[in-house]
Amino acid sequence: MRRISLDGIFVPHVTPFTREGELDEEALRTCVRFWVEGGVSGLVPCGSNGEAPYLSRQERRKVIETVMDEADGKVPVVAGTGSMSTRETIMFTKDAKDLGVDAALVVTPFYFKFSSREIYEHYRALLEAVDIPIVLYNVPKFTGFSLEPTVVSQLVAEYENVVGVKDSSGSIGTITEIIRLVGDKISVLAGAADLTLPTLMLGGRGAVIAVANVFPKMCSSLYEAFKRGDYEEAGKLQRRVSYVNEVLIKRHNQLSAIKEALKLRGLPGGYPRRPALPLESEERKDIENMLRVMLKPS
């Protein structure tokens, strides 16, 4: 198995759809160029922001294939392959491996609430079935429960293909405990944008954050400032990132808000797939106001 080092800012990017709900491949290619030129360390297709639960197997393959082709080796591609069942998760992960991705981001099963034993067995089955670097993904706001740090630690101890964990719990305590247990062995990545700098300060390796869809350069600059020891600049950028996160992710349907913000920046983010709907006028004004603040010359 090829090892991979996951450091920096990764963009868990949107999947542009047409008004009719079809995949817009050319729009996706345009956005990939924007993200790569913005300095992100890697691309994450078919994650939460990519509306993966709404994608068929064929669509997932097409999205990953398109991103791989457009990225052309400039940055790693970490494809989301998680699903509700172990069987489907293994199938999607094998598909991603066949397409040549650098790693797979695998969310915990969702819809039903599972015990830690069941979650461990789910990942164990995947890790034994597919020889590819795996990033565990904890996002309790979508799944309804949290991946326990002890389960992460157990999997890391037993399987060398666990190379990272994205924690989107929003809990600095959870991230701290994960870093304490496995931070010297794998990449611990913040999944909540307002915890990017705190995670780095605690020993994490970076972040996989939705804000990077709209402001890739700002997010990558935060990481770069931290790496060169300019903590004053890193703090300034973290405050800006947190403000964008508050507007895009916490106030509105993030799928629709990110795509609206991309559109307002002149990029083809496309439409969300139903049941998500485009923002209404007052919501769009909130996004416009945020962009006006963020894009104002300093």
- For residue range 95-144, list pLDDT tens digits in order: 999 999 999 999 999 999 999 999 999 999 999 999 999 999 999 999 98
Which pLDDT belongs to residue 298? 65
Intervals of the chain under pLDDT 70: 1-3, 298
Q: Which of 97, 123, 166, 223 is catalytic?
A: 166
Q: How far apart are CA 292 and CA 176, in angstroms?
A: 35
Count of positions (residues) in the chain: 298
pLDDT of residue 238: 98
**Catalytic-residue membership of 166:** yes
Sign of CA pseudo-dihedral 260, 48, 79, 164: positive
- Cα 113 off chain centre by: 22
Interatomic CA distance for residues 133 and 163, integer angstroms:
6
According to the model, what pLDDT value does residue 139 have?
A: 97
Q: Respond yes or no: is residue 137 known to be catalytic.
A: yes
Q: Name the architecture of domain 8-294.
A: Alpha-Beta Barrel (3.20)
Looking at residue 248, its pLDDT comes to 97
pLDDT for 73 equals 95
Q: Which of 120, 123, 137, 271 is catalytic?
A: 137
pLDDT at 4: 80
63 in Cβ contact with 28 (< 8 Å): yes
pLDDT at position 5 is 79
What Cα–Cα distance (Å) separates residue 212 from each residue in 31, 54, 275, 298? 12, 22, 24, 20
